[in-house]
Chain A
Amino acid sequence: MGLREDILSHPVSELDLREVLILSPEDTVQSAVRLMRLKRLGCVMVVDEKGIPLGKFTEHRLLVLLVEDSQALLRPLKDVMVTEWASVKLDDPIAKVLDAMQNHGMRFVIVVDDDGKAIHLTGQRGLMEYIADHFPRQVKVHMIDDAKLYMDQREGA
């Protein structure tokens, strides 16, 4: 099967899924910033006490907030979170992730279980890794400036 068939038939569980970062509506933007930096992820889900998503907070939202309000870091997430998000289930085809990103203009897609609870995060990064796995020979090799093609001396003894 080719890449297109794989995208249309393989389930979301085949993607490299990320841990979903979770905060409560009362947490501040600053706590979201610290968690996103710590985990190297650009999205935090805001959930209720049962783990059901209420909204999301992303790097893009942070950028817009800071432009509007330089004190934005002190605001609670419930006031600034985005209440639209895309979700898929583990057994949905990968094409559904692609659809969600393309049709809703979103970089992150939430993976939910049968109860609607957020269990993983996927999106652009997972999709790129999945595609890259199909083309292992197309790795771009960059020369570092001033790099030498040979060594001055023999290595070792």
Chain B
Amino acid sequence: MPLFLPTDLSETLALLADHPEARIMAGGTDLLVRLRAAGRTPGTLVCLERVAELGRIEALETATGPAVRIGAAATITDLLRSDTVRQRLPLLHRAASAFAAPTVRNAATIGGNICTASPAADTLPALHVMNASVELASRRGARILPMPHFVTGPGRTALEPDEVLTGVVVPVPRIFTIHHFEKVGQRQAMAIAVVSLTAMLAVEDGRIRDARLAWGSVGPTIVRCPEAEAILRGSRLTLTALTEAARAARRAVAPISDVRATADYRRQVAGNLLLRLADLPGRKPGS
């Protein structure tokens, strides 16, 4: 079993060009489990753990405003420890804190979470609502794709065999006043999301100026619902408005039944979770 441990990006790209059959391993928390379950010894593996440049998290200014660039091999623990992520991308920070458990977070990477492309991936809904883009590199050159164009289906991405995901660029949300993340799992840690809702709302003088919503685990990929967002725009955070948006959301999702929950449950709760945003006495929305 050939195992490569490149130490920089150009070496990584060269290996991938020479070994198109190779699989890329970052933290291995998904890949190794699947290889073990399949009872196979892995083929060629290119490991990213020694490519330091892929592990950086940095704030940057782009033409459209401030952003955060996260290297693909940054671990979930790196996200949690990063002041930049905590202050500028609170949703991603919340998603990271709901991710598996500390030992897994120490190994698992954001790039791995994106490339595994599970509909239940904890970081994906946050990346979707923040309009993040992924950076891909190969010896042929680099390209940038918006998240929804990169993840094309459950376990499917637009990554070419000679390409590696090098990082994700996340524009810092500016006008949004409510950052809400809720993951429904069978337990409070080491849980695969049964349904999750990630929401950003810009509320001004009690009215919703803008809304971005994304659901996990209720479709083949992350589900957005422009109809529900449109219902919320311009209205107040009332149970009536949210209930109407919830109906739209239940129409938009396409969940399956599995060992964790039924499709009906997922559909129902995908809508219900919106009600949590209601501006009710005794509770601050988004908290």
- Do A and B form a real pair? no
Residues of B within 8 A of A (CB): none
Residues of A within 8 A of B (CB): none
